[in-house]
Amino acid sequence: MTAQRLKIGCAGLGRMGKRHALNFLERTPRAELVAASTPDDTEIEWAKIHLAPYGVKLYKNYDDMLKHEGLEAVVVASATAVHAEQAIKAINAEKHVLCEKPLSTSVEISQSVLDAANAKPHLKVMCGFSRRFDASYRDAYNKMSSGALGAPSVIRSQTCDKLDPTGFFVAYAEFSGGIFVDCSIHDIDLSLWFFGQDSKVRSVSAVGITAVEPDLRKHNDRDNAVGLVEFYDGKMAYFYASRMMAAGQEDTSEFIGTKGKVTVNAQPQLNLVQTFDAGGIKKEIPQHYYDRFEYAFVTEANEFTASVLENTTVPLKLDGAVQAVRIGAALQESLITGEKIFFDERGNRVPKANL
């Protein structure tokens, strides 16, 4: 008897969509990529070469793909601006959903995805925060949660992209939600993972600069920013985001407990090769986010597929994805206004004088 395979479609075939499509096609044994959609002609031509020969049906219209016979699930890997719309359409069409982060750049729109998912609890709906599927981060979490390092108290985490001299990030900033929602959303999610999904935010504050891309300011964004989040239980998280690393991608985290700490990727390196020459000892580091987290995305695809086929709980709760956007958006607002933002224990904004 042939084992059951999850029939899945991929929405969006941009840089990230291509990776998701190929992961489900080639590296997720219990899934079968049966369809893909994109309105972009260049992406369709790519798909005709890399997907269609393996039986993947191509659609230019997302709504048409949702009607593909036998389709059971959708991975939403399109532009952030349509994540929520496409996720909700898939849920309403009775499809399981794996949605790229963030659900939306808006808290309210992100909440609408959660509301749609809550209305159909038989469906598996997950937001893909890739670091939760990375072996090193999982090992760090296990070490911290074991209690050997004491109570987790402080997190310092960063997402730092290699400098792109083309000015891509200036155009991208118009739609990204800002550096905290786009980059630091990963680090924010880590804080909710390590501190607990129900951690309550007391305040957020942020500062930033435009060191190499002053035009980012017209979109209320920066190319370097630091954010600080205080929680009601006395914990705090420090986030650094950057668009101008010279050597490559630098995604580093430090989790500090009352009896010790654990770090992840404190000294980034592409592999275990080092070059010794007259200039000293050198090592290469990942150039892009996917270079560092390639296998995390593969694990994510396989675990999402297993949760659907085995009807088990998805690896992370969807309401955490809404909370991450809420924190990221508040940090972005603080970055723009220069004001510290306070919340009560129910998550409502309050003036400082009322605390």
Six token digits for residue 230: 């205080």
Asked if residue 88 and residue 174 are part of one domain, the reply reads: no
The beta-strand segments (E) located in the chain are 6-11, 31-37, 57-59, 73-76, 96-100, 125-128, 152-162, 201-209, 224-231, 236-245, 250-257, 261-264, 275-277, 280-282, 341-343, 349-350
Asked if residue 343 and residue 194 are part of one domain, the reply reads: yes
Total residue count of the chain as it appears in this document: 355
Asked if residue 117 and residue 140 are part of one domain, the reply reads: no
Asked if residue 195 and residue 219 are part of one domain, the reply reads: yes
316: in domain:
no
Asked if residue 96 and residue 37 are part of one domain, the reply reads: yes
Which of 74, 109, 127 is the last residue before a domain boundary? 127
Distance CA 95, CA 87 (A): 9
Q: Note down the domain range covering 210.
A: 134-294+323-354
User: What is the number of domains present in the chain?
Assistant: 2
Q: Which pTM does this prediction carry?
A: 0.94
- The pLDDT of residue 355 is 54
**CA nearest to 206, candidates 221, 186, 195:** 221
315: in domain:
no
Asked if residue 85 and residue 173 are part of one domain, the reply reads: no
Q: What SS3 state is found at 220?
A: coil
Which of 127, 146, 165 is the last residue before a domain boundary? 127
19: in domain:
yes
- The pLDDT of residue 76 is 98
Asked if residue 271 and residue 146 are part of one domain, the reply reads: yes
307: in domain:
no
Distance CA 68, CA 272 (A): 45
CATH at residue 96: 3.40.50.720
- The pLDDT of residue 351 is 86
Asked if residue 192 and residue 155 are part of one domain, the reply reads: yes
Asked if residue 186 and residue 115 are part of one domain, the reply reads: no
Asked if residue 161 and residue 123 are part of one domain, the reply reads: no
Phi first, then psi, for residue 159 (nearest 5°) are -125, 110
204, 327 in Cβ contact below 8 A?
yes
Asked if residue 287 and residue 148 are part of one domain, the reply reads: yes
> Count of CB atoms within 10 A of residue 147's CB?
11
Q: What SS3 state is found at 50?
A: helix
| Digitized pLDDT (tens) for each residue of the chain, 355 residues in all | 346 999 999 999 999 999 999 999 999 999 999 999 999 999 999 999 999 999 999 999 999 999 999 999 999 999 999 999 999 999 999 999 999 999 999 999 999 999 999 999 999 999 999 999 999 999 999 999 999 999 999 999 999 999 999 988 888 888 888 999 999 999 999 999 999 998 999 999 999 999 999 999 999 999 999 999 999 999 999 999 999 999 999 999 999 999 999 999 999 999 999 999 999 999 999 999 999 999 999 999 999 999 999 999 999 999 999 999 999 999 999 999 999 999 999 999 998 756 5
263: in domain:
yes
Six token digits for residue 80: 């952030």
CATH at residue 228: 3.30.360.10
Residues 6+ apart with CB under 8 A from 309: 4, 6, 30
- The pLDDT of residue 324 is 97
Asked if residue 167 and residue 39 are part of one domain, the reply reads: no
Which of 89, 111, 127 is the last residue before a domain boundary? 127
302: in domain:
no
28: in domain:
yes
Distance CA 277, CA 323 (A): 49
304: in domain:
no
